[in-house]
Structure 1
Amino acid sequence: MRILGVDIGGTMMKFGITDEQGIIEQYREYPTESKKGGPYIVQKVINLISNFTDFDAIGISTAGQVNQKDGSILYANENIPHYTGMKLKAILEEHFQVPVKVENDVNAAALGENYFGKGSKYDDFLFLTYGTGIGGAIVMASKIYHGQAGIAGKFGHMITHPNGILCNCGNKGCYEAYASTTALMKKAQNVDAKYIDGKIIFEAYRHSDEKIGSIIDDWVEEIALGLVSLIHIFNPPAVIIGGGIMEQAILIEKISTRVKYLIMDSFRHVEIQKATLGNKAGLLGAASLHLK
């Protein structure tokens, strides 16, 4: 079976045809131009898919909340205007006359890891991505647990600091307000405006910058505190962590060490693993929707 995987992100969209082994052919990337809105993006996706031939199905990974019943966009924030309500599955099936499946981007990335990556040896695991915010997915029996409304896994919005920092969601003290990459950047830039990305921060850390070392240690503590709560709730065999910042090899070790120190003894079997598929996880996960 040949499946066209499409990953619609806020900045870039990715396309590629993959087989059942996850070997990607004809991989291409294009700017999303998200501010032009949902109708523009959907027409752009149609135009770009038309450049591909010889595929049996389409799998879509997309930003926003997805209605699992009809493959429409249940909710998308202002980053993609007028995307909420787009009947993505119906539009693409009508146009291309092949089966189409649609999944949220973080859920798709978790499925990519489960089918082709680090999660392939687990039937159950939690998946988190640390970036602008914190995305989450719950994998049970190698399937996404969606919850009653189809939007389970909003780990970034569990409250870790009551009455704390105001989050973009409107609540105070959310996990992502303290443990996202954005939160790390804000703290680092309070020390020095030159710390504009993770690479610069960790370069300073490797050169024993004490102020940055303290900031990173505090940030790791915030990450670990959230993970401990999730591990105590779900009791998973593994937690798989993704996001560009997690490419820093020392981070997984530091997070794992801190989590193992904080959790109850009976939960210490849990493995903290780094995601392995990088920016192709969503595309591969979208394709796997037709393989499961």
Structure 2
Amino acid sequence: MRIVVADIGGTTIKVAIVNEEGVLTQYTEYDTESKKGGAYLVQKLMNILKGFLPFEAIGISTAGQVDTKTGTITYANDNIPAYTGMKLQELLEKAFHVPVKVENDVNAAALGELHYGAGKEQTAFLCLTYGTGVGGAIIMDSKLYRGANGVAAEFGHIIVHPNGRNCNCGLKGCYEQYASTTALIRQVQAVDSSYQNGRQVFEALKQENKKIESVLSQWMDEIVLGLVSLIHCFNPSVIIVGGGVMEQSQVVEEITRRVRKQVIHSFSNVTIKQAVLGNRAGLLGAASLHIRHDG
């Protein structure tokens, strides 16, 4: 089966072809132009997909909450205006006359890691991605756990600091306001406004910048605060962490060390693993929705 897959984010649309063995080819990235809104984005996506014809199925990984039964975007923040309510599956099936599956991006990334990456030998794990916010997914018995309304694992909105920082969701003190890469950069800029991204932060560490080291240490404490609560709730054997900043092995190693010091002893056998698929995770996860995985 020739499956065309797209991973829709606030900045880029990643598109590729995936076969039934999970081999990914023709990988291409496009500017989302997200501020032009949901309708523009969907039309742009359709135009892009035409360039990948012929294909027998479409898999979509997308930002926002998704009703996977209908492939409708049930909630999206202002990063993509007027995306909420978009009937993505219906629109794409009418345009291309092939089966379409739509999944939330973090769920899709977790499925990618389950079938092709760091979770390949696992049947149950938690997956968290640290970026603009903090995304989450739960794998149980080799399947996504979706919850009553299909939107389980909003780990970024665990309250870690009651009456703390305002969050875009309307609450205060959410985990992602302290543990996301966005939060890290905000805290670093309070020390030195010249830093614009995580890559610059880690370059500063190589120069033994003590002020930046201190901020990074505080940020890792915030990550651990959320992880310890999740470990005590779920008792997972494995947690897979992703996002650009988690590609730094020393960060994952230090987080693991701090977690082991803070969890109750009977929970301390948890393993924290780096996601390994990078930009391919959501694409492969979207493709897996059309592929039978036996055993």
TM-score range, shorter-chain basis? over 0.9
Aligned residue pairs, count: 292
Instruction: Give 1:63 shift.
Output: 0.9
One-letter amino acid matched to 1:271? T
Q: How far apart, CA to CA, are the structure 2 residues paired with 1:195 and 1:36?
A: 28
Aligned match of 2:266? 266
Instruction: Give 1:20 shift.
Output: 2.3
Q: How far apart, CA to CA, are the structure 2 residues paired with 1:245 and 1:274?
A: 10
Aligned match of 1:238? 238
One-letter amino acid matched to 2:18? T
Aligned match of 2:171? 171
One-letter amino acid matched to 1:63? A
Instruction: Give 1:206 shift.
Output: 2.3
Q: Percent identity?
A: 59
One-letter amino acid matched to 2:180? S
Gaps of 5+ in 1: none
Aligned match of 1:69? 69
In 1, are the aligned partners of 2:68 and 2:101 still within 8 Å (CA)?
Answer: no
Gaps of 5+ in 2: none
Aligned match of 1:206? 206
Determine whether 1:222 maps to 2:222: yes
Q: How far apart, CA to CA, are the structure 1 residues paired with 2:162 and 2:81?
A: 31
Give a deviation string over 1:23-75, Cα, whole Å, max 9, x none: 11221111111111111111111111111123221100011110122111111
In 2, are the aligned partners of 1:5 and 1:17 still within 8 Å (CA)?
Answer: yes
Matches within 5 A, 1:68-107: 68-107=68-107
One-letter amino acid matched to 2:246? M
Q: How far apart, CA to CA, are the structure 2 residues paired with 1:96 and 1:169?
A: 35
In 2, are the aligned partners of 1:21 and 1:116 still within 8 Å (CA)?
Answer: no
SS in 2 for 1:120: coil
Give the CA RMSD over aligned residues.
1.1
Q: How far apart, CA to CA, are the structure 1 residues paired with 2:31 and 2:214?
A: 37
More divergent stretch after superposition (164-173 vs 96-105): 164-173
Give a deviation string over 1:212-268, Cα, whole Å, max 9, x none: 111111111110110010011011111000011111121000000001111111111
Q: How far apart, CA to CA, are the structure 1 residues paired with 2:177 and 2:41?
A: 29
Normalising by structure 2, report the TM-score. Answer: 0.96
Determine whether 1:44 maps to 2:44: yes
Q: How far apart, CA to CA, are the structure 1 residues paired with 2:43 and 2:186?
A: 37
Which runs of 4 or more aligned residues in structure 1 lie more than 6 Å from their structure 2 counterparts after TM superposition? none
Aligned match of 1:23? 23
Aligned match of 1:249? 249
Q: How far apart, CA to CA, are the structure 2 residues paired with 1:271 and 1:119?
A: 11
In 2, are the aligned partners of 1:5 and 1:18 still within 8 Å (CA)?
Answer: yes
Instruction: Give 1:21 shift.
Output: 2.5
One-letter amino acid matched to 1:272? I
